[in-house]
Amino acid sequence: MRAQVAIIGAGPAGLLLSHLLHLEGIESIIIESRSREYCETRVRAGLLEQNSVDLLNETGLGERMNRIALPHDGVQFTFDNTYHRVNMTELTGRRVTIYAQQEIVKDIIAVRLKAGGQIHFEADAKEIGGLDTAKPFVKFMHEGSLKTIECDYVAGCDGFHGISRDAMPASMVKGFDRVYPFGWLGMLIAAKPPSEELIYSHHPEGFTLFSMRAPEITRSYLQVAPDEDIKNWSEDRMWSEMRKRLGKHEGLELNEGEILQASITPMRSYVSEPMRYEKLFLAGDSAHIVPPTGAKGMNLAMADVCVLARAMIAFYKKNQTHYLDSYSETCLSRVWRAEHFSWWMTTLMHTFHDASPFDQRRQIAELHTVFGSRAGQTLLAENYAGLPIVNWRP
C-alpha cells in the first residue's frame, strides 16, 4: 500500500486530518486498531469550543451537528453554598456547544467513506520506521497478516496509549507529567439534567459536574479516588453523592433516571516535547493529555490537526517546508496554555483531601475571587470558550 500520508488512529484527530487533507487533494490511509462500531459508540468528550464548531461547519461536517447539538451561552458553578453563572456570550462573544465525540467520529467516518477514503478498522499498527529516510513506513496487523503502508509522512493520531510517541528516539523526547490524586466516575443517565447548562460544583467531599448529551440525557461526573473500584459504587451511593455535592440552589433540580453506563477514568496532565521527529508528526492525545475539567482534550486535538494540515498542504501544493518545521513549536504554545487552564480548573474545583486547613480556606477564597469579579469570570470564559486556532488553509 502507498499513500502520501499514513494516519494511525481514527479518533477525532486522525479522522479530521484525513478529511482536511482530502479537501485539498492529498490522499491518506487511516489504520485503526478497534472496530468501526467501537469507535462510533465510545462515550468520551462532549463539549466543543466555538472555533471547533466553526471548523466543522466550514469543512462540510456540520449538518447533523446543527440539527442535534446544544449550544450554551453560559456555564454555572456552585461552591461554599453559593451559585454563580458565567455569561460567556456576553463576556467573550462566543459560546460552547454540547455534541458528543462519538457523533463527530460517526460524521467524519461517513463523509470520508462516501468520498472513497480508506479507513482500515481492526488494523493494529505495530511498527513505524524509515522516519529519517525518503521511505517512511507503517507496518500493521490486519486480518491475520502483517501489511505495510509506504508514505511520505506519518501522522501519529493514536491517542495516549498508541505506539507513535515511542517511535521517536527516547534521547530526543522529553515528557512533562502531572498525576492528580483523584479520578472521575462518569455516568450516562436517562434523565433531564439539573439545568440546561453545565454545572461545575466544588464540595468539601469532592467535585461533581453535570453535563448532558441531549435534553433528556444527563452526563455527570463525580470526583473519586484515583484507584477507586466501580464495584464500590452502588447506584444509591452515586445518587446520594450527586445530591449532596450539587447542594440546594433555586432552580437546580437533580432528576433521577436509569444509569445507562458508568466508568472511572484517572486524571493526568502530560505533554511530550517535541511533537515531531523527522517524518513523524504527533497530534492530539498521542502528544498531550489534560484532565477533563477544562473540556479541552478533543478541542486541542482538532487545533493540532489544523496546524498539521496547513503544513502538509503548504508542502504538497506550494513546495513550502517552513510550516512543517514550525509544527511542534506552533502547537506547543497553544497546548501549554490549555494545559495551564485545565490544571487551573482542576485545582480550583476539586477537593484535595490532604490539603491543610490553610489551603482549604485559600481555595474557597480563590473561588470567590474568580467568580466575584467580572475580570476573573472573563479570564475563565475566554479560555473555556477556546483560544484561536490557525487557518488550516495556508
Q: Which residues bind ligand RFL (CB under 6 A)?
A: 8-14, 31-34, 39, 44-47, 101, 124-125, 157-159, 162-163, 184, 186, 265, 284-285, 292, 295-299, 301
Place of cell 486556532: 389
State the SS3 of 124-169.
EEEEEECCCCCCCEEEEEECCEEEEEEEEEEEECCCCCCCCHHHCC
Query: Which residue, 194 or 291, is less far from ligand RFL as judged by CB?
Result: 291
- Residue 219 is a binding residue for ligand PHB (CB under 6 A): yes
- How do strand 118-120 and strand 28-31 relate by DSSP bridges? parallel
Query: Which residue, 46 or 386, is less far from ligand PHB as judged by CB?
Result: 46
Query: Which residue, 162 or 292, is less far from ligand PHB as judged by CB?
Result: 292
**Closest CB 80 distance from ligand RFL, rounded Å:** 25
Query: Which residue, 87 or 391, is less far from ligand PHB as judged by CB?
Result: 87
Active site residue 277: no
Active site residue 292: yes
Place of cell 502538509: 312
- Residues between 170 and 209 that touch ligand PHB (CB under 6 A): 198
- Residue 295 is a binding residue for ligand PHB (CB under 6 A): yes
Q: Looking at 200, 221, 277, 327, which residue is catalytic?
A: 200
Query: Which residue, 45 or 308, is less far from ligand PHB as judged by CB?
Result: 45
Active site residue 202: no
Region near ligand PHB per CB under 6 A, out of 43-51, 251-259, 318-326, 353-361: 43-51
> Is 232 buried (19+), middle (13-18) or exposed (0-12) by CB count in 10 A?
exposed
Query: Which residue, 19 or 296, is less far from ligand PHB as judged by CB?
Result: 296
Region near ligand PHB per CB under 6 A, out of 39-47, 150-158, 160-168, 237-245: 39-47
Q: Looking at 19, 72, 120, 202, which residue is catalytic?
A: 72
The neighbour count for residue 82, using CB atoms within 10 Å, is 14
Query: Which residue, 50 or 328, is less far from ligand PHB as judged by CB?
Result: 50
Q: What angle do CA 336, 180, 256 make, to 5 degrees?
A: 105
Q: Looking at 120, 202, 296, 350, which residue is catalytic?
A: 296
In sign, the C-alpha dihedral spanning 253, 256, 259, 262 is: positive
| Chain residue whose CB lies nearest ligand PHB | 46
C-beta contacts of 164-170 below 8 A and 24+ residues apart: 164/8, 164/125, 164/128, 164/280, 164/282, 164/286, 165/272, 165/282, 165/286, 165/287, 167/128, 167/129, 167/131, 167/277, 167/280, 168/272, 168/277, 168/280, 168/282, 169/277
d(CA 327, CA 278): 11
Give SS3 for 311: helix
- Residues between 260 and 289 that touch ligand PHB (CB under 6 A): none
- Residue 245 is a binding residue for ligand PHB (CB under 6 A): no
Q: Where are the alpha helices (DSSP H) in the chain?
A: 12-23, 36-41, 50-58, 63-68, 88-92, 101-114, 235-246, 297-318, 322-325, 327-349, 357-371, 374-385
Contact characters 99-138, ligand PHB, x per CB under 6 A? ----------------------------------------
Residue 219 binds which one of ligand PHB, ligand RFL, none, with CB within 5 to 8 A depending on kind? ligand PHB
Q: Could you tell me which residues come within 8 angstroms of residue 160 by beta carbon, excluding any fewer than 6 positions away? A: 270, 285, 286, 289
Active site residue 388: no
Residue 34 binds which one of ligand PHB, ligand RFL, none, with CB within 5 to 8 A depending on kind? ligand RFL
**Closest CB 377 distance from ligand RFL, rounded Å:** 20
H/E run at residue 190:
strand 174-190
Cell of 136: 517512511
- Residue 47 is a binding residue for ligand PHB (CB under 6 A): yes
Residues identified as active-site: 72, 200, 292, 296, 384
Residues forming the site for ligand PHB (CB under 6 A): 45-47, 198, 211, 219, 292-293, 295
